[in-house]
Structure formats: structure tokens, C-alpha cells
Amino acid sequence: MISVSEAEALVLSHVLREETCLLSIESLKAEILQEDLMADRPFPPFHRVAMDGIAIRFSEYEKGLRHFAIQEIQAAGEPQRTLHDDRHCIEVMTGAVLPKNCDTVIRVEDLTKEGPSVHLIPSCVVRFGQNVHLQGSDYPDGEVLLSKGTSLLAPQWAVAATIGQSQISVSKRPSVAVVSTGTELVEVTEVPLPHQIRSSNKYALSAFLKQHGFENVSHFHLADSRERMFTKLQSLLEEHDVVVLSGGVSMGQFDFVPSVLKDLGVQEIFHKVAQRPGKPFWFGVGPEKQMVFGLPGNPVSALTCLVRYLYPALNKKIGVVKNPITVRLKTDFDFSPKLTLFQPVQVKIEDAELRAFPISLNGSGDLASLTKSDGFIELPPNKAHFAGGEVFPYWHWGGRIL
């Protein structure tokens, strides 16, 4: 039985990076950029007016001129106008090109208008170049604005649009098959008999993945039949990059998953990790380098192992590294077994820090109590007492940190 850190290292060492694909800017998905995006021209691309008002030649203001005749209007989106008389001004709008022969903009709030002329109010003080966003002051032509590996969120999509990038190279998302196993499971729409339960793991696991951007997920169910399991898993391995199974990895008479996977040419990397929940966790690699995760059947164990191992592996496949945040334990907590404990917690802000409040569960199948938690903290196996105030890694279920 290996440690959590050993299991994590082994899983991540078998991750193969995904290929890239071109994504239309119309998709606006939170993908991972796989190329550097560079400015196709300086930005702003011209001396840009930053306030509604008038554009003048500052030297006339320095000479004492406070009254300007309006020559014409320069609106945003129009070709550049030219100031022909330094004692005149051009009325300008925010976002417009600064007229030729002008170098300063006086905002409309500092002006009074009388017919075709404007006067500066007595309190107005003008500085050379004010309210002008100079060409190239944000970035020059050819500068790398978005680097390979960047997450494409709202600001990044805006930059891509600004530089005219309609097709963007991103990481291809892996295809994932989520498979629940067990003859005792029935579908959500069925009324279970006294000896049956409704299937929930495939929905929980698929929901987490889809809510974290891995939308290419399909879910299936397999009864405890070696022949059917062999046939179905054979096709799933051919069709998917990652196969995730829940149940069938313990030591029971009908726990066929490890042996069936072996018959299908899947190499076992490890089986069993010194952790709670999720001790029977199994991991292997298929003949075409598919990643295969055998999660315990208990709902809390399955979801915990997915968040702790599978999610980081999928992120690495698309070029993302997300380290867990840390939280401060609110109260003392004791756990004596020499195992890493993934303890469900509620997280709240206290004194500008994240504080973790342990949640009690009635075993690894207690889904209802799990809904009261925000995620889990990782407590190391080398001690039995964890004092309030200590800091530990925190893994959250998603959607929100708090």
C-alpha cells in the first residue's frame, strides 16, 4: 500500500499532454491557450481622446487663451480631422482620434459653451497632453499579450478580439467515460427493490467534471458480470482517453474490475492507498496509454478520489497546474489511524482567513451529510492530533470556494 504523495506522483507521471485544436472566438469557452498571441498593431492604434470635450494646441493656452472658437466635431470612428487655426478648437468625443495639430484635451465639465465658441471656467487648470491616451502606450506592435498556457477567461477573450484573433489554438479536452458498477444499482427513474439502491456515483463524478470544464464526458453502468464488463470496457478503452470506474475494486467475490482490466491489457500501476476514504483506489494505464481510474464504490470515497487524483491529472493533460489552497483548522481534531485523512469541512471567512470546520459523516456512503461540506482538508498520517489554528491543504467540490 502506497502513500498519497506516491499515488499522486505516479498518476501525474503517466499523464500525456493532449493535442491542440483550433477554437472559434465565438465559443468563448474557458480553454487553455496553446500559442502566444501578439499585438497586430500598437494599442491604442492612434492618439486616442480619453474624455468628451475639446482638443486644442497647448501652446495657445500657455499664451493665455481661454476662449476658443469651435472649428468642427471629431467623433469616435471618424477619420482624423486637422486643426487649421491654433486659436480654434475641435470638439471631440471619447474614443475619437486626436485631431492633427492638437495635443491636449479639455473635458466638457471645465467648459461653458456660447454658440460656436467655448470658454474655460475660471477654476480650470490645463496640463500638456491631458486626457490623451497616446498611441502604443498600452503595448507596441508585436508584443506578446497572451502567453501559451494562459486560461482564456473574459479579459483574455477581449484581448483576442482586439488583436483580430478569430481562431485560437487551445488544448483539446480529453474524452472521459464514467462507469458505475454493481448489480445492486438501478437507474434514477426506477423504483428500487428492498435490496437495491439508485445509481448516484456516475452523476456526481460526471457533474464535477462538466462543471470544471471537461464537457466531453459520457456515463455508463455495468452489472457485476465478467463477460459483459469485458466487452463494454474493451469498447470504452477504444473510444476514450480516460476511463473512470466506481466500484468493483475491493476484495469481494464480485469485484471483477482489476482482473478484467488486466485481461484487456491495462497495466496496473498501483492498487490501494494509505488514505481514508478511498483506500481501495486503483490506477492503471491502457495499451494505448489511456488513463484508467478504479474508484471505490462508496459515494464519498469515489468523489474524494476523483477530486484528489483525477482532476489534477486532467488539468495536467491540458497544460494547467492548480495547487490546492490552504485553510486554517478552526477546532482541534483527532484521528489516530496511520492514514492520510480527507476530512470534509465547511469553510468560512474569519479574521480575513479561510477557516475549516470539520463535518461529521456517517461513513463513506453518507451523501446527505456531504452536501453540508464545501470540500475536504488533507490531514497527514504522521500525527494523531491536529490543533486548531494549523494550516492544511484544502480541496473544494467546485462552484465556489466558500
Q: What is the pLDDT of residues 254-306, one digit of tens each?
A: 467 888 999 999 999 999 999 999 999 999 999 999 999 999 988 999 999 99
**CA–CA separation, 206 and 212 (whole Å):** 10
Is the residue at 402 inside a domain? Answer: no
CA-based angle 51:99:62, to the nearest 5?
A: 75
Burial environment of residue 111 by CB neighbours within 10 A (0 to 12, 13 to 18, 19 or more): buried
Residues in the chain: 402
Grid cell, residue 314, equals: 486532467
pLDDT at 250: 63
Helix (H) and strand (E) counts in the chain: 9, 28
In this predicted structure, the answer to whether residue 323 has a pLDDT above a threshold of 90 is: no
Domain final position from 291, 317, 343: 317
Report helix, strand or coil for 98: coil
Claim to verify: residue 208 and residue 288 sit in the same structural domain? yes
Q: Are residues 372 and 229 in the same domain?
A: no
One domain for residues 279 and 364:
no
Q: What angle do CA 101, 103, 107 make, to 5 degrees?
A: 120
User: Same domain, yes or no, for 228 and 126?
Assistant: no
The answer to whether residues 96 and 130 touch, using CB atoms and an 8 Å cutoff, is: no
Residues 201 and 266 in one domain: yes
Is residue 151 located within the same domain as residue 274? Answer: no
pLDDT tens string 29-38: 888 999 999 9
The pLDDT, as a whole number, for residue 252 is 54
Same domain for 223 and 253, yes or no, is yes
Q: Percentage of the chain surpassing pLDDT 90? A: 77
Return the CATH number at 353: 2.40.340.10
pLDDT score recorded for residue 279 = 95
| Rounded average pLDDT over 41-68 | 97
Q: What is the pLDDT of residue 362?
A: 78
pLDDT at 124: 95
**Tell me, what CATH number does 283's domain have?**
3.40.980.10
The answer to whether position 57 is within a domain reads: yes
- State the Cα–Cα distance between residues 307 and 376, nearest whole angstrom: 10
Residue 401 belongs to a domain: no
Which pLDDT score is estimated for 182? 77
User: Could you tell me which of 156, 143, 152, 155 has the C-alpha nearest to residue 319?
Assistant: 152
Q: CB under 8 Å to 63, separation ≥6 — which residues?
A: none
State whether the Cα torsion 185-190-194-198 is positive or negative.
Answer: positive
Alpha-carbon span 33 to 146, nearest angstrom: 8
pLDDT of residue 53: 98
Confidence of residue 399 (pLDDT cuts 50, 70, 90): low
Is residue 28's pLDDT more than 90? no
User: Pick from 171, 190, 222: which residue ends a domain?
Assistant: 171
Whether 378 maps to a domain, the answer reads yes
**294 or 194, greater pLDDT:** 294
Residue 227 main-chain phi, psi, to 5 deg = -65, -50
Q: Which residues contact 305 (CB under 8 A, 6 or more apart)?
A: 278, 281, 293, 295, 296
CATH of the domain at 144: 3.90.105.10
Task: Indicate the pLDDT class of residue 369, thresholds 50, 70 and 90.
Answer: confident
Total domains present in the chain: 4
Co-location of 142 and 72 in the same domain: no
The answer to whether residue 106 sits within a structural domain is yes
| Domain end point (choices 133, 152, 183) | 133
Q: Are residues 110 and 9 in the same domain?
A: no
Residues 68 and 210 in one domain: no
Same domain, 187 and 288: yes
- Residues with Cβ within 8 Å of 395's Cβ and at least 6 positions away in sequence, in order, are 307, 308, 324, 342, 375, 376, 377, 378
Contacts 24+ apart (CB under 8 A), 1-6: 1/272, 1/273, 1/274, 1/279, 2/270, 2/272, 2/273, 2/274, 3/273, 3/274, 3/340, 3/381, 4/273, 4/274, 4/275, 4/308, 4/340, 4/378, 6/270
Residue span of the structural domain in which 34 resides: 20-43+138-171
In the prediction, which pLDDT does 123 show?
A: 95
Q: What is the pLDDT of residue 342?
A: 97
Whether 201 contacts 294, CB under 8 Å = no
Residue 231, C-beta contacts closer than 8 angstroms, at least 6 positions apart: none
Statement to judge: residues 192 and 290 lie in one domain? yes
- The CATH number that applies at residue 128 is 2.170.190.11
Q: What integer is the mean pLDDT of 377-396?
A: 96
Of the pLDDT bands very low, low, confident and very high (cuts 50, 70, 90), residue 156 is: very high
What number of other Cβ atoms are within 10 A of residue 331's Cβ?
12
**Least-confidence region, from 95-99, 184-188, 238-242, 353-357:** 184-188
Neighbours of 76 (CB within 10 A): 13
CA distances from 228 to 232, 267, 294, 330, 371 (A): 6, 20, 17, 49, 34
User: Over the stretch 122-152, which tens digit does the pLDDT of each residue have?
Assistant: 999 999 999 999 999 999 999 999 999 999 9
Mean pLDDT rounded to a whole number for the chain: 92
